[in-house]
Structure 1
Amino acid sequence: RIDFDASCYTVRSTEDVQLLELMSMRPGKRISLRLKGRSKIRGTLQLIRDTAGAYSLRVYLPQECEKRKTGTLIGIDLGYTEMMATSEQELLGTDLGQYFSAISDKRRKNSEGRNRMYSLFRNLLKKPDKDKLAKAERIRKNNLGRKKQRARYIRDIGVIKTIVNRELNLLFTRKTNPIKEIVVEDLSTRMKVHFGKKWNRRLSGWMRGYLQERIRYKARKFGIEVNEVNPAYSSRECPRCHCTDKENRQGNSFKCSLCGYHGHADLVAALNILGRLGDKEIRIGMPPSQVKAVLDGRYVGWKSLNHTVSDKTSGVARVVNESPRSASLKSELRSNVQVCIASR
């Protein structure tokens, strides 16, 4: 891909054709391209060459999208085994994790084969025999090239992009219960993936940036407001009692060690992300240690509340059984949290 800003190209039109003249590496020499059809060309252009050798030109134009005035608010947790989990208890992009695993296994197998061939290639170069050197050259030419490896990588990335865009389009354009706003984890935070160190370094950086860009772009395109919150401990926090015990999450399963609340770990994280919208105590950029201190205070407050509330009609103590993120419970916990933190 090559980017051309407005100073690097000119557009000429005749009666029959529209021509685009691009700056080249030779001073004073421009490359003339004949365009199919006619269009307004302005701003930065991208010249794309695909694996088949075909060229395409991308022209970016600003889009004015009106924000949606009606709809629902949902929380979204981003992942890899499932691309997204929503606070409406939906898992989207469940085939993404399977595809990642297949890519990882295939690339690891190919890397092992290339390493063996490279080792053989180096050993052959150490021998002065003419036949050995000829064999080393054949190995270098036929087994150590980057062209096919690069083509496979581009093909695999293309499938991943298709899955990501498909799921975002289905979510943002649904007809029943349309979405007005979404709450997501801070898109500047680092995401984690567990498919091997080498593959992680290459894929996680690309995938993180691509997901961030797609969410922002698709939300802006469909007029959906994006709210970001601090994601620290969102996958370990119990949405009912705020316990953050590391034993709460085991793989994709979540079960609170205190109150017994259970469910899919990513769906629980989506509930927590939604609950942090408008939370004045857990702010974006706050270190995880401070987030845990706030959650620990709420956890202590919940335990105290659930063991001291008494039934005024009978005078008998009872345990409060509230659903996760109950509004009344949340307001009571906020006051208890301030007392707990102040007493530390």
Structure 2
Amino acid sequence: MGKIVFSILLKVIFRMTSGNPRQFNCRDESARFQLLIFTFSCEDFLWKYYKKSPNIRNFRHIRYINSKGGDSMPKARKRKDTQFDNKIVKSVFLYGNPTKDKTDKIRAMQIAFTKLINQYIQKLIGSNEFTMQLVKADKKDSKIRAFEKVIRPKGVNAAYGQNAFDIALTQLSNRFDNIRIDMCKECESVFTKSKVLFAMSIDGKSRMDMIDSIKKISAAIKSKKDSSFYDDCAKQLAEMKDSEFNFAQHEFRVIYDMVSCEYKIPYVKRSQIPLDSRIMEIKPSEDIKAPYVISISNMLDVGGPKIVVPLNTSKHSLHKIQTRKMAGMVSISMDIQRCLKVDWSYQNCVSQPKTSKMIGVDTGISDAFHTSDNKAIGSMSPVIDFYKNVVETSFASLSDMRNKKRSIRHYLRRHKNLPEDVRRSLIQKMDKLEQMIQKAKVPYRKNRHYYEMLDHEIKSSIDEYIASIDHETLTVLEKLDIKEFNCSRKSNGKRSMFARGQLQKKLMETLNWKGYDFKEIEPAYTSQACPVCSYTDKTNRDNKRFKCQCCGYEADADYVGALNIRARADDKEILDVCEKYKYKHDEMQKHIKMVYHARNEKYKAEATEAM
């Protein structure tokens, strides 16, 4: 009976909403809101039959997970745009081998620090007074700092408590930000675009309170350009009727409840311990071989003796420490091999150069970089071929041995009445396989060689590209996001997204570090669009060969991609589309293709008139 009711209910909701309650075609807003409430109220009922019906997996909004228990649903997060950074932070690593007693103390500190973070997370979640501070990640707010003092456990050093609280606040702030971005995809409105209005909507503030807060923020900003966003928000709120505002808030609450269920409360399993100058000191060593010594105040023994550990590092890191201004804070962690790892950062200040020319760069495999000047640099093909033909084959033989051992073990469990000599022979064979698995070093050695080849090819390609440009050149790249390529394992292997991602990431880091400007653009259809007539179709490209099916233009496919990347950097029409639909990727691609289609129609009309 339950299955029949479930099937009917699901069909009714799907027919009325087309799989999305917000797409209900109804002019009566109250009816639309009642449908939203009806869908959400049925959620618990539908969830009981989740495993019994495969159809429910297609229903976007019935994905309920209790936020205080159970597992969260894994969601692919779209990475943020990488931009030129005037202050670049890098780190050097120092290593120490403390005694067993000191190791136990540091491990106990790490466990206690992680536990303290999770306690702070639960305390912040239990309080409804700091939604605004959590959404804005405002760690310096006086109210939230006072709250940390109140909830800090007795006997905990203030520095450790404040550092743990900052990590807890960051974890919860990231959760709110992910929810807000997902809500922008569902219902893009002034309440999801603005973090201030987002937090006030969660707290259920009135329209006048929101307008007053936005006006105060706008008045505090000196630049009109920066305050224009807040002025627009205040204008939209002022123009809303009370009924429209109430409906928008009801809709916000329903969608917020549904989206927030997909993100469980953060739980930190293991964390580094950040140490500032109040609880740590690093100084040059005396009368020992190690160049530095770190002294750490024991978190679990306030006022007790400090933990002193000698630190070693490489010559390269030692040179960086001696020539750079190091930060006053470090992070420490203890690994399984009883090695203390110290992460010490330093900063490099770079001024953003003024550029007078642009160059498009297509990142690929056959050509590591192909520029819009039709210059091919490097190739990742030998590296990828080595991984597929050598590394994967080597690990396959190791996997075969594991499978053989597993099959023998299962056979022994199923057949308990075997003769003693047969059983002993199989056990000996299983032991021999285990010894072979333990001694198998070749696959791991070949895998290390693959990473060395990859690093060498990336470095040589980047060095060659940077040598070919000057500081007045703006490098335009496509925004590669591995998580967007939702393909099969075989397809992803062919695209070699890891190698491409590493190559482009390292290129942007090197450009930024050496003071060269760069920019990322949306990559949709850059490899399919014709740079002459704008005809866009996947049949235009055949591996490395590009031939337009409309105008007949032929060129290297990577070169065409680089041309389109460069052109898109100052294409106002497409940039406006990308900005308008930045939270709705499918809509963005649809409208970009419409722009190309309109341009192609115009090209064909002009070509017909010319004839």
TM-score by length of 2: 0.43
CA contact under 8 A between 1:67 and 1:222: conserved in structure 2?
no
Bigger proportion of residues as strand:
1
Bigger proportion of residues as helix:
2
Instruction: Tell me, yes or no, if structure 1 residue 183 matches structure 2 residue 467.
Output: no
Q: Structure 1 regions of 5+ residues with no counterpart?
A: 310-317, 319-344
SS at match of 2:546: strand
Report 1:286-297 matches (<5 A): 287-297=588-598
Q: Separation in 1 of the partners of 2:396 and 2:312?
A: 46
SS at match of 2:347: coil
CA contact under 8 A between 2:365 and 2:500: conserved in structure 1?
no
Instruction: Tell me, yes or no, if structure 1 residue 75 matches structure 2 residue 346.
Output: no
1:230 aligned residue (522, 527, 542): 522
CA contact under 8 A between 1:48 and 1:56: conserved in structure 2?
yes
Amino acid at match of 1:13: P
In the other structure, the counterpart of 1:160 is 454
Is the alpha carbon distance of 1:201 and 1:114 closer, same or farther for their aligned partners in structure 2, counting shifts above 3 Å? farther
Instruction: Tell me, yes or no, if structure 1 residue 120 matches structure 2 residue 120.
Output: no
2:562 aligned residue (264, 270, 281): 270
Amino acid at match of 2:477: V
In the other structure, the counterpart of 2:546 is 254
Q: Separation in 1 of the partners of 2:544 and 2:334?
A: 40
Instruction: Tell me, yes or no, if structure 1 residue 213 matches structure 2 residue 484.
Output: no
Q: Separation in 2 of the partners of 1:245 and 1:302?
A: 16
In the other structure, the counterpart of 2:309 is 31
Instruction: Tell me, yes or no, if structure 1 residue 137 matches structure 2 residue 408.
Output: no
CA contact under 8 A between 1:45 and 1:58: conserved in structure 2?
yes
1:143 Cα deviation from its structure 2 partner = 2.6
Q: Separation in 2 of the partners of 1:179 and 1:253?
A: 32
Aligned Cα root-mean-square deviation (Å): 3.9
Q: Structure 2 regions of 5+ residues with no counterpart?
A: 1-92, 96-271, 301-305, 413-417
Which of 1 and 2 has greater Rg? 2
Q: Separation in 2 of the partners of 1:264 and 1:156?
A: 28
Is the alpha carbon distance of 1:165 and 1:272 closer, same or farther for their aligned partners in structure 2, counting shifts above 3 Å? same
1:193 Cα deviation from its structure 2 partner = 11
1:216 Cα deviation from its structure 2 partner = 2.4
CA contact under 8 A between 1:184 and 1:229: conserved in structure 2?
yes
SS at match of 2:358: strand
1:76 Cα deviation from its structure 2 partner = 0.8
> What percent of counterpart residues are identical?
21
Q: Separation in 2 of the partners of 1:47 and 1:120?
A: 38
CA contact under 8 A between 2:568 and 2:574: conserved in structure 1?
yes
1:240 Cα deviation from its structure 2 partner = 0.1
CA contact under 8 A between 1:82 and 1:93: conserved in structure 2?
yes
Report 1:45-60 matches (<5 A): 59-60=344-345
Is the alpha carbon distance of 1:14 and 1:190 closer, same or farther for their aligned partners in structure 2, counting shifts above 3 Å? closer
2:283 aligned residue (3, 8, 12): 12
Q: Once structures 1 and 2 are overlaid, which stretch shifts more, 12-21 or 221-230? A: 12-21
2:466 aligned residue (172, 175, 186): 172
In the other structure, the counterpart of 1:101 is 385
**CA-to-aligned-CA distance 1:113-162 (integer Å, 9 cap, x gap):** 23332232123323461232122122123236676544432331222122
TM-score by length of 1: 0.73
Q: Separation in 1 of the partners of 2:558 and 2:355?
A: 27
In the other structure, the counterpart of 1:340 is none
1:192 Cα deviation from its structure 2 partner = 6.0
CA contact under 8 A between 2:401 and 2:437: conserved in structure 1?
yes
Report 1:293-308 matches (<5 A): 293-308=594-609
SS at match of 1:143: helix
Is the alpha carbon distance of 1:15 and 1:44 closer, same or farther for their aligned partners in structure 2, counting shifts above 3 Å? closer
Is the alpha carbon distance of 1:76 and 1:116 closer, same or farther for their aligned partners in structure 2, counting shifts above 3 Å? same
CA contact under 8 A between 1:82 and 1:92: conserved in structure 2?
yes
Instruction: Tell me, yes or no, if structure 1 residue 282 matches structure 2 residue 574.
Output: yes
